[in-house]
Structure 1
Amino acid sequence: MKYIVIKCGGSVIDELTSPFFTSLSELQKQGYKLVFVHGGGPDINKMLDLFRVTPQFVNGLRKTDEQTLNIAEMILAGQTNRKLVAKLQQYHFPAFGLNGSDGSLLQANYINREQLGHVGKISKVNKEFLELVVNNHYIPVITPIGINTNGEKLNINADYAAAEVAKALQAEQCLFVTNVDGVFIEGSLSSSLSQQEVQTYIAKGEISGGMIPKVHSALNAVEEGVESVMIVSGKNTFFENGQWHGTRIYQGEPINRG
């Protein structure tokens, strides 16, 4: 079975447009099974602000005490997931919302409880559970909330969660959906960039601003064992006539572009 894992950040869900969903239909026609993983950072931060809780981050990971975990799960499962599922259903995709802790889907362990609180790293993805959903013709839409062997829920970085799901399913592609078409170098969309090229272009200032965390997230995924990650747009067509439109980030030697 051919899988595509699609990671949507919380900030891009409201910006998804009809051409994006047309590309999803094209992928399905090519025989791909779709699996979504999503974040919800902006919505979580708004709710934390209402509770007068200041967000804290350590090495890019959200420090998560018990109150923050409760708020994060409430927003991810009760708001952001519902929003993405509804959007997919609006375009006639049979979306099935899942909390990552349901059915021990995302099994996780604490990273560093003292430093980060209730933040986890995935130890195993319940592949059989996902296959059960997919084989019944649904599209899983997963929150990055994991669970450990003691039944404790853990907050997981959505990029890492998507990477682990892609690895478990041996997905042919892992997509990181953004609000731009991909990475532009010298004014032109780059179809692919090696890990080494990404670091070089960041140092030169060719990759800058909001694109830096996007490519870092893609690099983290390939370092976690995903063969490559495509940075694609949620606003435009990213797959048409069997061709990808976006930037592929991969490990290995740069392609000779001469």
Structure 2
Amino acid sequence: MNMTAAIRETLMYQNLFSSRVFLIKISGKVLNHSCFFEIIRDIALLQKSGVQVILVHGCGYQIDAQLVKIDEEIKKDNGVRITSFRAMKVIVKIAQEYRNKIIVQLKKQNCAVYGDCEQAIIAHKTSPHNYTGEIVRIKKRAIKKILSRGIAVIAPLGVSKSGDFLNINADHVAFSLAVAFKAAKLIFMTDVSGIYGDQGIISELTVEEAKILMRQKLITGGMIPKTLSCINALSKGVSSITILSGLKEGALLKEVFTKKGCGTMITR
């Protein structure tokens, strides 16, 4: 593609997505990579091009490392953390630390950015002694107010009715927010390039094709619950969901502003 055609393509997508809501979820491993600062620049460009950005970050990688340091047992059930009171203190500290790190870097890109969103996610405990929460309600109006002013940065935390912090799986936060806002795009920036088939990365999948791949056991492991959640979110109004590698240079901009995209896009 020549330069003129590339500019036309970019401007077409910029016009298409102006004022639309994008939900971008960055994994903890990507946050620790040197590419993090480039991703921040690209998110800033998205916001300045008119996209309304909700940014959710994970920090499971960092939490696991800290729990090992303090000799706290790491317990998970189907990939979802079982959170003790002691672990919860660590999680709140790390989640807020990384949320603030993201905010500082976005402000360096001259973005209006806000991170006071924890009270907007209402959750309840999954069991009396487990501080992992399930989302009960999203205070959509509060987040909408932030989006009218800038980027909303959301840590994987919620609050109970009694005001206690609860740990929430970051993927679940991303899916719930994407459904609440009927996001034009939900983009997972991970340390994998997408969903693999027999011939390598699959660039685009429909819901039915994804179900077939699961039956054929070509989608396996941790990608199964993520794919099932993708299917559920698409059925509730999210337009498209992309799983891509945040470790590849320019992956986010390629996904948004080119027809070819990047990673695996799942659509209805």
Q: TM-score, normalised by structure 2?
A: 0.78
Query: How far, CA to CA, are the matches of 1:215 and 1:194 in structure 2?
Result: 15
Match of 1:146 in 2: 158
- 2:29 is paired with a residue of what secondary structure? coil
In structure 2, the residue corresponding to 1:123 is in which secondary structure?
strand
User: 1-side partners of 2:92 and 2:163: how far apart?
Assistant: 15
User: What does 1:39-50 align with in structure 2 at a 5 Å threshold?
Assistant: 39-50=58-69
Q: Does structure 1 conserve the Cα–Cα contact (< 8 Å) formed by 2:156 and 2:169?
A: yes
Distance 1:76 1:135 in 2: 24
Alpha-carbon deviation of 1:246? 2.5
After TM superposition, give the deviation of residue 24 of structure 1 in Å: 3.2
Secondary structure at the counterpart of residue 226 of structure 2:
helix
Q: Give 3-state SS (helix, strand or coil) of 2:90's partner.
A: helix
Q: What displacement does 1:75 show?
A: 0.9
Q: What per-residue deviation string (whole Å, max 9, x for no partner) do you get for residues 222-246 of structure 1? A: 3253533211232332334453323
Does residue 175 (structure 1) correspond to residue 175 (structure 2)? The answer is no
* 5+ long unaligned stretches in structure 1: 253-258
- Residue type at the aligned position of 2:245: S
Residue 51 of structure 1 aligns with which residue?
Answer: 70
What is the CA distance between 1:20 and its match in structure 2? 3.9
1:28 to 39, 47, 57: 47
- The equivalent residue for 2:213 is 201
- Distance change >3 Å, CA 10–CA 226, structure 1 → 2: farther
Q: 1:126 aligns with which of 115, 123, 139?
A: 139
Is 2:121 the counterpart of 1:106? yes
For 2:127, the aligned partner's letter is N
Q: Does 1:249 align with 2:266?
A: yes
The equivalent of 1:256 in structure 2 is: none
Equivalent position SS for 2:54: strand
2:153 and 2:51 map into 1 onto residues whose CA distance is 16
Local SS of the residue matching 1:118: strand
Question: What is the aligned partner in structure 1 of residue 82 from structure 2?
Answer: 63
Instruction: Provide closer, same or farther for how the CA distance between residues 75 and 105 of structure 1 changes in structure 2, counting only shifts above 3 A.
Output: same
Structure 1 residues 71, 200: CA separation in 2 closer, same or farther (over 3 Å shift)?
Answer: same
Instruction: Check the 8 A contact 1:195/1:219 in 2, yes or no.
Output: no
Residue type at the aligned position of 2:263:
G
Q: Distance in 2 between matches of 1:167 and 1:76?
A: 23
SS at match of 1:140: strand
Q: Which residue of the partner structure matches residue 175 of structure 2?
A: 163
State the distance in 2 between where 1:90 and 1:214 align: 34
Contact 1:193 1:249 in 2 (8 A): yes
Aligned to 2:226: 217
**CA-CA distance at 1:56 after TM superposition:** 0.1
Q: Equivalent residue for 2:242? A: 230
Q: Measured at CA, do residues 197 and 113 of structure 1 come closer, stay the same or move farther in structure 2, by a change above 3 Å?
A: farther
Deviations 1:153-203 (A, max 9, x none): 211111011111112222111111113442243344322223443354356
Q: Deviations over 1:67-125 (max 9, x none)?
A: 11111111111x2223333343444433333352xxx21011223336xx112111211
Aligned position for 2:114: 96
In 2, distance between residues paired with 1:194 and 1:207?
14
Q: CA deviation at 1:247?
A: 1.2
Retained in 2: the 8 A contact 1:159–1:221? no
* TM-score of the two chains, using structure 1 as the length reference: 0.80
Q: CA deviation at 1:66?
A: 0.9
Q: Deviations over 1:106-152 (max 9, x none)?
A: 011223336xx11211121111211222222x211111111122212
- Equivalent position amino acid for 1:232 in 2: L
> 1:120 aligns to what SS in structure 2?
strand
The separation in 1 between residues aligned to 2:44 and 2:227, in whole angstroms, is 24
Q: Is the CA contact (8 Å cut-off) linking 1:20 and 1:233 kept in structure 2? A: no
CA distance in 2, matches of 1:203, 1:151: 42
Give the match for residue 253 of structure 2. Answer: 239
Partners of 1:99 and 1:144 within 8 A in 2: no
Report the 3-state secondary structure (helix = DSSP H, G, I; strand = E; otherwise coil) of the residue aligned with 2:222: helix
Figure out how many residues of one structure are paired with residues of the other and give that number: 241
